Every structure is written in structure tokens, then in C-alpha cells.
Structure 1
Amino acid sequence: MSEPYQVLARKYRPHTFAEMVGQSHTTKTLINALDADNLHHGFLFTGTRGVGKTTLARIFAKSINCESGVSSTPCGTCPTCIEIDNGQSIDLIELDAASHTGVDNMRDILENAQYMPTKNRYKIYLIDEVHMLSKSSFNALLKTLEEPPEHIKFLLATTDPQKVPVTVLSRCLQFTLQKLTHEEILGQLKFIMDTEGFKYEELALGQIADFGNGSMRDALSLLDQSISYGNGSVMVADIKAMLGLVAHDDIITLAQHLINQDAQACIDFVKELSHKGENLTQALKDLSALFHQISIAQIIDNSGVSDDIKALSAQISKQDLQLFYHIAIHGNKELPLAPSEQIGLEMTLLRMLTFHSESHPQKKKHLS
């Protein structure tokens, strides 16, 4: 019988600090503290979803409870390391604060904090989304955080540190995990695809990395979906069809219509996209990204810029480009308020044409 399928985000979850992607500022601090055996009793990991908060906490828990001793490089093979990796360690108490918001829940949990660990060096409380705790629960937690037993470690994780009381923040070492860069996510996606032996186009993985928006877990979930859609391969055409993306060449064409001040061509272009069922909101975001690339090409001499972008950068003034970008960003905010996506995108493009400088009035074409 074949093994059940394991999603990529779980299969490739890091088990050591060396396997972590990004977050070098946090891992360096934790590694130094572990190697010096200079351990605080409370740690707070903050950051957006999918950047490694819970993963770092579990690696840290493994590092301080590994049977080979406290170290930044846990063996990964002893019973304790295996139990933590499998989520079966009796001395690693993982809590979801969203489902344990009440003070009674917190009191019941902390009553056991006074007792020694069952088999490991430390008893570790890993509380995810800690900002969801009620005020009374925080007060109950605060007492234990103020005077913790030597065998207790608190690992707290949250996506919203502003909602965590200052009294709790001041008693923890706080680590702010940053969004992962496009290159970091893309590198991990390529590593996974190569390891799994799947075919892929790098541009397709780049689009997935962009959609991850700094979150490795979001990118891996989309990669899972893409592999299923492409039956074991990840290609640009499949990503475009799956996500309703507009081809890059089409976005270049739309930008050319705007620069030419051809209103009729812009309206016809949007109608065609809408007729094909394309994602118009994403099309406007892609247009904004293109304006950014053109602006960079105008200011910085970059030999790596494509010929299309170089050509566009020579046809539009810096002032008009900044205006177009500003209108596109605000148009994205207004799209949900428009009667329809199509109308919202059309009005945004017409606004760009309306406020375009009159430096080339002979090129301006009106709707017939």
C-alpha cells in the first residue's frame, strides 16, 4: 500500500536551523544563545503567516531537549527529536490560542507548569496566535512569565504583536520574522521541484513566488495545486490558465496603448480580457508592476532589462509614469467598489488617459 500524500509545506518543513530559508537575523541569535547555553525563559516570534514562526519554535524546542545535549544542531535521530518532529512529545505542549481563549483553559494548562517534565530537560509551552487570548488569560499567563520555574520555557507566536499586552512583551525576547524575498522563495521552489523530479519552467515558479507574497507556505500550497493541475509539471501556460493571469506580452501591449493615448484600444483590450474570463484585478496589479519596472529602467542603467521595457521607457516621461503608477495603485483599492471589475479597470485606464500630459496631442485618439 502506497504512503498517503503529504503536502509540500509539511514534507519540506525545516528540521534544523541550517534548513531554514531566510530569517538569518533570528536564527543567528538563537544559535548563539543555544551554543552558549544562555537561554531566556520566554520567546515571542512575530510575523505574517507562513514565514516560519512555528517552525523556528519547534526547532528551538528540539535543540534544548535533544538527548545529546543543548545545542544549535540537534541530532534529529534520538527519540525526543523524533517525537517533536512528529508532534508527539509529551513535554512540548502546543496550544492554539484561538481555541483556548478562556481564562479557565489557561489556568488548567498552567497548573501543570509547576511539575517537572515527564522525560525531557524542559517543559515547553508553544502558544500559537497568542494575541487571541483574552485579557484574563493574559493575566494568568503573566504570573507564570514573571516567575517561571527553571524547567519551563515559553515559545509564543503571533501575527499581530500589537494586540499582545506590553507586560507580556517586556518579559519575552521578541523576534520579528520578515517576509521572504522573491529569490528565497524561488530558490526553495526550484529545490523542491528538482528533488521531486518534476518538470518546470522557471518563469512559472517565479509567478508562484510572486503570488506567495513573502509567505513560503502560501507559495508551497500554490505549487501543490499547480503540480496537480499540470499532472506533474509546472508550466507558464498552466499557471496562467489556473490563476486567470494575463500574459506578460498582453500587459506590455496595454501599456503601449496607454502611452499612445489610444482610448479605443484600451477599452477593446479590457473587453477582450473580460470576455476570456481573465483576472482583471491581477491585470491591474501586473500593470502597476510593469510601471515600476519601466521607472527603474529610466533611472538605472540596467543591461538586464528586456528590450520591450527599454522601448516603453523611451516613450513616456518620468512624470507621466509616476502618475500612471499612482492612478493604478488607487484604482486597485477602488475596484471592489466599482459596479463590476470591467468597469473599474476601464475607468482606471481612462483616468490615466485623462491626466496624461499633452506633450504629444497629435497622438491622442478618442473613442469613436
Structure 2
Amino acid sequence: MSDSFDLGEPPQPATRAPDAAYRVLARKYRPQTFSELIGQDAMVQTLGNAIKRDRLAHAFLMTGVRGVGKTSTARLIAKALNCIGPDGQGGPTIDPCGVCEPCRAIAEGRFMDVIEMDAASHTGVDDVREIIDASRYSAVSARFKIYIIDEVHMLTKNAFNALLKTLEEPPAHVKFLFATTEVNKVPVTVLSRCQRFDLRRISAEQLAAHFAWVSEQEGVVAEPEALMLIARAAEGSARDGLSILDQAIAHGSLDGAGVTADAVRQMLGLSDRGAVRDLLGLILDTDAAGALASLRRQYDYGVDPVSVLRSLMETVHGITLTKVGTPPDAAQPMEERAARADWAAALSFPSLHRLWQLFLKGHDEVAKAALPIEAAEMALLRAIHASSLPDPGELARQIASGAPVATIAAPAAPTPAPAPAPEPVATGPVFPDTFEALVNRLDDSGSIAIAARLRHSARVVSYAPPEIVLSGSRPISADTLAEFGAALKALTQQAWRVTMADAPGEPTLREMQDAADAANKQRYMDSPMMKAAREAFPDAELETWPGQRSNA
């Protein structure tokens, strides 16, 4: 690729030598044609079809993360719309020639009819008013007068409102090209007037291939693994990746080693993949001392503890994908793929999901911790402890296969101790057989308050309907007894005699219920399945169990 063009840079004086000033790779290898714009094939195809069919919009909005080519795309569109070809007779084309005067002038940033404005430093309505006033005049020497507004979301609300009318119905010779990283801050009224292109993050594979080409052009030997590390660190941004590559070339230029993976890891503070695999192996082997020593070694080499947790998360994620059956990444070393395949065969999905959650929680804690390395050590120890615990589902299956767990049913709730059999009633209506049945009938009939007080306080000395002798766990007032007698008369249509006696009496209905629940829980805790579960999880607590009754 020729480096004679520098978009947006003033032309160099003719007397200056070509190599008088070094240009960073991000500027030197800025795309000069749409074919050099990597990772945005869908947008290029759409623009090409629009140009061929003469269906050009009057305003375009390019959005995406940093470094994916938004401003470069805007400049390329300006060249494509104003290119006249080598013979001066050409029209708009998706493949601008790059040699005609408009193409060269736009590339060198000196074309009068392509006005580029940074909205971050020109935010007010007065700046927009200048654009509106100037847009009324025809282009000086070009087919279209093009306004490129970078970081358009920085315009004020009034500036956006002032632009709306011109943006909706601009003169035929005017095109607007907007670029922004925060499209959510652009008003909907502006978005609806633009043809929007969402530029995608560039894949790591495409970035690595591009960096390999740049290294070849620069005469630098670069290891493929080093380029892949740079591509992943760039997070989809070509500019970020080229800046890192520039730094890596400078890092290795003195010893002539080129760009190596070890140098890139050291420069970026990344964990060595082999060290990460060793660390994960120590965690799975529950070797706490070895894991902490491995972490400290990486920390002493300058590796950020957050980077270690991130690398462990990436490894667990890769193992999970391998277990699912996702094709392996061709850019990974063979030993990495082999290790992930072995772990995928040995670890279950629940174990992998548990490791992921533990490392994710540890990553967040380390990122916020005042003592990062100490927090990282505690996160690893937590993961080591958890990795030694059996999976609850697998534990249940093992217990079921080794003991007749399938036949172990939840113990039935014991019935309260029966009250003394009531004396037979010679004549009269049929009364409930027990005091508990009588209280339940009161509850069902709507006398809820009376039933609740009797259930919690009354001890039965004798129950011989229509006579009841009670004693109280707590004093029972005369009013309560009177209300009880009235409720019984309304329920059975017969007068009852309710008296108090200074005698122990039976336990209250509530006490009998609590005793039954305690016995039920104890029988459940003594079952073989629960004993095995408590041995595996000694800190676990049983909150509910089959047959437990409501405390209401």
C-alpha cells in the first residue's frame, strides 16, 4: 500500500524528505479505498449498489466502536462521490481512482468542497448556522459539497434542532456524513433523516491477518501468536491494534527479535497461556499452595491479577465450547487445543458453570479491591475449595445407585398423641370426637380469633361434650371463656359448659404440632440420603423438609 496519502493531514512541504517525520502505523495504513476497509463488507456492498443505481441518500450516519473506520469511511465516501477518473470523465464510483485531482486533494485534506468539522470542539448553534449558510452555495469545483461531522453526538440540543430542516431537505449538491461512537445520544429526529450504517467490530482473525500484512510491509518479522494476542487486545479496533503493533515493533527493534508472543505478553501485562493452563490444573487438583505460588510468579513478572482472572475465564469458556462441540480456533496452539479437549472430557457442565461463576465473581472483586493480589488469592482459594465439593446432582445419583434411596420416602408427619377418648354421649346432637376437631370446626365456621387463642393457650383437662374442663398455659380470661361458650352454642345449637380447673391438662394443640414437626424433621435428617449430603456439605442448613407443616 502506498503511503503517499495521509487523510486529514496537511500536505508536506516539497523540500522535506519523505522520511523526515515518522508516521505511526495507524495513520500510515489508513484505508485509501473501500477494498482496504476490513471487516465492513456489508456496508461496502450497500454503498456500491446505491452508487450504481443512483440511489444515494443525502445524509449518512456511521456508528460503531472506536477504530473500526467511521471517519475513514466518511472520507472514502467523499472520494467515491467526487471522483472524476483518470481521464476526468468519470462519475461516482465505489472504486475511486485515487489519481484524479479530487481524489488526491481529499486524501491530502486540501479539497475545498469537503468540509470536515469536529463536533467536540464545534458544539454550538453558531457553528451549525455557518454550515447552513454555506450549504446554499454550489460546490466550487466538485460534484458534491460534503460536510463530514465527526463525533456528531457532541452537538448541543439547539444545534441539532437548527440542523434539522437543512438535513431533511438539503440542496441537491450537498451531502452530510456523520460519525459517532455514541449513537444513543443522537436525537431520533436526526437518525430518521439519515441512512445509518453500524460498523461492526473487526474480528480477531481479520485483524491478525491485517497486522501480518502491515508487518510484512514494514519489514518486521512477527510471530502469528503475537499478532493474535495484539488482535485480541485491540477488541475489534484496527486503530488500537495498529498502535499496539507499533509499540511491539519498537519494543523488539533493538535486539532484532521482531515481534514475539512473549514480548507482547510482557508489554501488555498478559498471562502466558501455558502459565494459565498450569494454574487451572493446580486449581482443579486442589493444590492451594501450588496455585498461590503460580499466581505470585505471574504477579512478580508484572502480570495484572485482573488479567489472570480474565485468562482463567477465557480458558473455562473455551473448555465449555469444546465440550459443546464448537470447532476449535485454528489460531490456537496445538497444546492449548489438546488441554481444552482433555478438560472438556473430564469436567461436567455443572462443574464448568460453577468455575465460570467463581472466576467471574473473583474478577469483579479483584477489579474493585484495594489489595488486588490478595483479593485474587482469596478468589483462587474459593475456587479450589468449591472444585473439591461434589456436584449435588451427581451426589444424589451416586447415593441412589449405592443405596435404596429411590425407596426412601419422606417420613410421614406423625399424628399428635390422641386425647383421652370422650365419654359416650347418651342423647343429643353429634359432637366432634376430639378437642382438636372442635377447634378446627370453630376455625372453619369463621371464629378464627377464638380458635387461635384456644390452639395456643388451652390445655384440655377433660373433654365430654357438651362439657369441657380446661387449664391454661397462659391465663385464660373470663371473657375468652364466655366467647368460647357462645361460639360453641352457635356452632352446635346447644349450650356448653366451659370451666377452668387447677390441673396440668394435656399439651396445647400448638405444642403438640411443634413436637410432631420436630420428630418429623429428625427422622428426615436421620435418613441415609441426608446423612450423605451433610457429610459432603457440612455447612449446609435444612430449611424445609417433606411433610413440614405451615407455622401459620
- Which TM bucket (shorter chain)? over 0.9
CA distance in 2, matches of 1:261, 1:316: 14
Cα drift, residue 213 of structure 1: 0.4
SS at match of 2:127: helix
Q: 1:97 aligns with which of 114, 119, 133?
A: 119
Q: 2:79 aligns with which of 46, 62, 66?
A: 62
Contact 1:91 1:119 in 2 (8 A): yes
Cα drift, residue 357 of structure 1: 5.5
SS at match of 2:147: strand
Match status 1:358 vs 2:380 = no
| Structure-to-structure mapping, 1:33-52, within 5 angstroms | 33-52=50-69
Cα drift, residue 13 of structure 1: 1.2
Contact 1:256 1:312 in 2 (8 A): no
Give the percent of matched residue pairs that are identical in Structure 1 and Structure 2. 41
Give the structure 1 partner of residue 359 of structure 2.
328
CA distance in 2, matches of 1:85, 1:49: 21
Contact 1:243 1:279 in 2 (8 A): no
Contact 1:244 1:278 in 2 (8 A): yes
| Structure-to-structure mapping, 1:229-308, within 5 angstroms | 229-231=251-253, 233-300=258-325, 302=327, 306-308=337-339
1:186-242 deviations in Å (ceiling 9; x for gaps): 110111112222111100001000001011110000000000111062111211221
AA at the equivalent of 2:247:
Q
CA distance in 1, matches of 2:301, 2:262: 15
Give the structure 2 partner of residue 133 of structure 1.
155
TM-score (norm 1): 0.94
4+ residue segments displaced more than 4 Å: 301-305
1:94-118 deviations in Å (ceiling 9; x for gaps): 1111111111122123211111111
Contact 1:22 1:184 in 2 (8 A): yes
Unaligned runs of 5+ in 1: none
Cα drift, residue 337 of structure 1: 1.7
CA distance in 1, matches of 2:293, 2:158: 59
Cα drift, residue 353 of structure 1: 2.5
Larger deviation, residues 261-270 vs 233-242? 261-270
Contact 2:266 2:302 in 1 (8 A): no
Unaligned runs of 5+ in 2: 1-16, 85-89, 396-535, 537-552
Alignment length, in residue pairs? Answer: 362
Cα drift, residue 347 of structure 1: 2.3
Which structure features the higher share of helix residues? 1
Q: 1:219 to 1:301 in 2, by over 3 A?
A: closer
Match status 1:349 vs 2:380 = yes
CA distance in 1, matches of 2:186, 2:327: 45
Match status 1:8 vs 2:25 = yes
Larger deviation, residues 237-246 vs 199-208? 237-246
Larger deviation, residues 131-140 vs 30-39? 30-39
Cα drift, residue 268 of structure 1: 2.1
Cα drift, residue 326 of structure 1: 2.2
Q: Which has the larger radius of gyration?
A: 2
Give the structure 2 partner of residue 165 of structure 1.
187
Contact 1:281 1:335 in 2 (8 A): yes
CA distance in 2, matches of 1:3, 1:198: 20
Contact 1:181 1:214 in 2 (8 A): yes
AA at the equivalent of 2:64:
G
Cα drift, residue 323 of structure 1: 1.4
Q: 1:339 aligns with which of 364, 370, 378?
A: 370
CA distance in 1, matches of 2:355, 2:101: 60
TM-score (norm 2): 0.63
Give the structure 2 partner of residue 145 of structure 1.
167
Larger deviation, residues 71-80 vs 324-333? 324-333
Q: 1:125 to 1:312 in 2, by over 3 A?
A: same
Give the structure 2 partner of residue 109 of structure 1.
131
AA at the equivalent of 2:63:
T
AA at the equivalent of 1:159:
T
Give the structure 2 partner of residue 53 of structure 1.
70
Structure scoring higher RCO (CA < 8 A, sep ≥ 6) equals 1
Larger deviation, residues 2-11 vs 43-52? 2-11
CA distance in 1, matches of 2:106, 2:375: 51
Cα drift, residue 73 of structure 1: 1.3
Contact 1:102 1:134 in 2 (8 A): yes
| Structure-to-structure mapping, 1:191-230, within 5 angstroms | 191-230=213-252
Q: 2:205 aligns with which of 183, 186, 192?
A: 183
Larger deviation, residues 203-212 vs 109-118? 109-118
